[in-house]
């Protein structure tokens, strides 16, 4: 196969197919180490703390939060939007990059997708628990009932319900679809009977026959086709929660593209944060290379710049519209009592990703790791700025107020991290972190070993 000399290999080291299988399967087959138990334990504890705080909220009411008559949504919805945003990278990588035939996605798509699903699960918690009457939350579903009550299809919150559920379902299916051949591989390597049985069940009896592969491939493509528009629609619809309202700072047509690019931006940052640690912890440096990191950093520059332009456009439109409420909302963002949040957002989201234009930094793992955390923080503050600073000073100054989270809100937010990492820790021990079958499918064209072999055939390399 003709491979450009310039293109760096996606799999380093002299990895044969056998090696790939062994490396990727190692964490699944080996007994977890102390570090894993430590991480898992902490995460589970924090998660339980979060659940306790949720129970407390449901028992005593939303009054245990810092939200008030003016600011109806606080950390709850901020976290919701943030987590949904985080959940954008996985499907973006596996669906959209699949359609665009980006081979580098193969090393990261599995973990990114898992992350997506966990993030969406964390996100989905918030709209539920921020309801005043969660036990009656099922009212939000359009089910036939004797009271002849129907939901309000005009409400973006209802659209949210559909968008998030659809996204979660399709992402889950897509992820599982990709897992099936790998589960078959694991089953074949498992020595213990019960494990073999479990994996056999999970792999739906995968045999690796041509017919299976054919169906798998075509189904993957169908799901990719379904998932790709969902990546764009979910955050578009989430942004409608704000965009269709009348609150200055919310009522903006720019929100859908701005939210989607912001979501991909934050999602990639989260993937980087996780993968930089995971590749080291699970010894997958040869599969998730600096080249992968660089590719993701490029996506970050692109989406980060879109976000930056969106911020500036918002400011311009606030001035240009001539609407005094709109103008005030943005002056208040930049100079009001929550200006610190605005400037954290601006620094982290607009200025910091621009550093990635420098190739050295783009390929520096430590720098990328720190930067990715900055972006995660910045994107959280973006949501905080949108939700809280727009509400706290809206139309009538008589109702202006301030918002401060309580320990309950903090505990719930922490709890979602606990949930996320608990699931992630389980995931890395149960499923292959790298899509085995997919990586193998690009090995011929992108693994160092094979590239060298094939180029030798063409032209002897000068050592």
Partner 1 sequence: MSEENKYWHILEEFEPIKDERLPKGREEVTSPTSRRNFLKVLGLGTASAAFIASCKRPAEKAIPYFIKPEEITPGKAAYYASSYFNQNEFCNVLVKVRDNRPIKLETNPKSVVTPKGTSGRVQASVLDVYNVNRYQHPQKSGETIDWETADGEIVSQLRQLANEGQPVLLLTPTIISPTTKKLIGNFAETFGAEWQQYDAIPMDGFREANQRTFGVNALPEYRFDKADCIVSVGCDFLGTWLSPVEFSGQYAKRRDLHNSDSQLNKHFQIEAGMSLTGSNADVRIRAERSDYGRILAYLYNQLAAKKGAPAIAVPTPPQEITPKLDEVLDDLTANEGKSLVVCGDNNPDYQVIVNGINQLLGNIENTIQFERTYNHFRGSEKSLETLLSSSPGAVIIWDVNPVYNHPESEKIKAAIEKAPLSVAISALPDETTELCQYVLPSPGYLECWDDAEYKTGVVSILQPTLHKLFDARQAQESLLAWMGNESSWLDTIKNNWASTYFPQQNEQSDTERFWVETLKKGELVLDAPSVTIASNPDEIGNSLNNINTENQAEGFTIELVENVNIGTGHGPLNPWLQEVPDPVTRIAWDNYASISPAVARQEGIKNGDVIQLGNLTIPAFVQPGQADKTISIAVGYGRVNGIPEELITGVNAFPLAKAENGFRQFAVSGFSITKTGGFEQMALVQGHQSMEGRPIVRESTYDKWKEDPASGNEMHEEIKHHHTTLYKEHEYKGHKWGMAIDLNKCTGCSACVLACNTENNIPVVGKKEVRRAHEMHWIRIDRYYNGDEENPEVVRQPVMCQHCDNAPCENVCPVAATNHSSEGLNQMAYNRCIGTRYCNNNCPYKVRRFNWMDYTGADAIPNNRYDPANLTMDLSRMRHNPDVTVRAKGVIEKCSFCVQRIQEKKLTAKNEGRQLEDGELQPACQQACPSDAIVFGDMNDPNSKVSKMMKDPRNYHLLEELHTLPSVGYLSKIRNKS
Cα-based torsion angle of the residue sequence 137, 139, 142, 145 in order, rounded to the nearest 10 degrees: 140
Residue 79 C-beta: closest distance to partner 1, Å: 15
C-alpha 88, offset from chain centre: 4
- Closer residue to partner 1, CB minimum distance, 312 or 402: 402
Residue 393 C-beta: closest distance to partner 1, Å: 8
State residue 404 phi and psi, 5-degree precision: -140, 130
Report CA Rg, the chain.
24
Helix ranges restricted to H, 289-402: 290-321, 324-335, 339-346, 359-362, 365-384, 390-392
- Closer residue to partner 1, CB minimum distance, 13 or 137: 137
Residue 339 C-beta: closest distance to partner 1, Å: 16
* Buried/exposed 114-143: b ≥16 CB within 10 Å, e otherwise: bbbbbbbbbbbbbbebbbeeeeeeeebeee
- Closer residue to partner 1, CB minimum distance, 233 or 245: 245
Dist. CA 463–CA 456, nearest whole Å:
11
Residue 342 C-beta: closest distance to partner 1, Å: 19
117: nearest Cα among 136, 153, 91:
91
- Closer residue to partner 1, CB minimum distance, 300 or 391: 391
C-alpha 198, offset from chain centre: 28
Residue 158 C-beta: closest distance to partner 1, Å: 4
Residue 419 C-beta: closest distance to partner 1, Å: 22
- Closer residue to partner 1, CB minimum distance, 274 or 387: 387
- Closer residue to partner 1, CB minimum distance, 63 or 205: 63
* Buried/exposed 81-93: b ≥16 CB within 10 Å, e otherwise: bbbbbbbbbbbbb
The site for partner 1 (CB under 8 A) is made up of 58-64, 66-70, 72-73, 127, 130-137, 139-140, 149-152, 154-158, 161, 241, 244-247, 324-325, 328, 391, 393-402
């Amino acid at each position: 196969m003709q491979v450009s000399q310039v293109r760096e290999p996606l799999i380093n080291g002299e990895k044969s197919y056998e090696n790939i299988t062994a490396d990727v399967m190692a964490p699944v087959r080996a007994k977890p180490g102390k570090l894993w138990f430590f991480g898992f334990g902490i995460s589970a504890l924090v998660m339980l703390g979060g659940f306790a705080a949720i129970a407390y909220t449901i028992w005593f009411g939303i009054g245990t939060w810092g939200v008030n008559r003016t600011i109806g949504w606080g950390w709850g919805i901020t976290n919701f939007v943030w987590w949904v945003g985080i959940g954008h990278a996985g499907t973006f990588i596996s669906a959209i990059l699949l359609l665009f035939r980006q081979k580098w996605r193969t090393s990261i798509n599995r973990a990114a997708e898992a992350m997506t699903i966990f993030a969406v699960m964390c996100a989905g918690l918030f709209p539920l628990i921020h309801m005043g009457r969660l036990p009656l939350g099922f009212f939000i579903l359009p089910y036939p009932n004797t009271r002849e009550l129907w939901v309000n299809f005009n409400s973006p919150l209802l659209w949210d319900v559909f968008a998030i559920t659809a996204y979660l379902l399709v992402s889950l299916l897509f992820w599982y679809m990709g897992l099936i051949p790998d589960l078959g591989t694991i089953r074949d390597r498992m020595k213990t009977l019960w494990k073999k049985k479990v994996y056999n069940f999970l792999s739906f009896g995968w045999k690796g026959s041509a017919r299976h592969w054919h169906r798998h491939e075509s189904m993957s493509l169908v799901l990719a086709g379904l998932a790709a528009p969902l990546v764009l629609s979910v955050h578009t619809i989430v942004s409608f929660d704000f965009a269709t309202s009348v609150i200055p700072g919310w009522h903006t047509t720019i929100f859908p593209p701005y939210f989607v690019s912001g979501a991909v931006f934050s999602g990639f940052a989260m993937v980087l944060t996780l993968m930089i640690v995971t590749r080291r912890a699970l010894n997958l440096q040869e599969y998730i290379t600096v080249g992968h990191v660089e590719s993701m950093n490029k996506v970050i520059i692109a989406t980060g710049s879109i976000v930056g332009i969106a911020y500036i456009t918002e400011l311009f439109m606030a001035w240009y519209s001539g609407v005094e409420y709109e103008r005030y909302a943005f002056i208040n963002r930049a100079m009001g009592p929550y200006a610190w949040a605005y400037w954290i957002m601006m620094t982290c989201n607009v200025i910091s990703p621009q550093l990635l234009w420098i190739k050295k930094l783009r390929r520096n793992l430590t720098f990328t790791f720190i930067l990715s955390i900055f972006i995660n923080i910045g994107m959280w503050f973006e949501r905080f700025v949108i939700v809280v600073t727009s509400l706290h000073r809206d139309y009538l100054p008589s109702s202006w107020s301030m918002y401060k989270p309580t320990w309950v809100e903090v505990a719930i937010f922490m709890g979602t991290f606990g949930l996320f990492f608990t699931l992630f820790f389980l995931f890395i021990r149960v499923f292959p972190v790298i899509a085995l079958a997919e990586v193998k499918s690009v090995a011929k064209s992108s693994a160092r070993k094979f590239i060298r072999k094939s180029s030798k055939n063409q032209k002897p390399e000068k050592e």
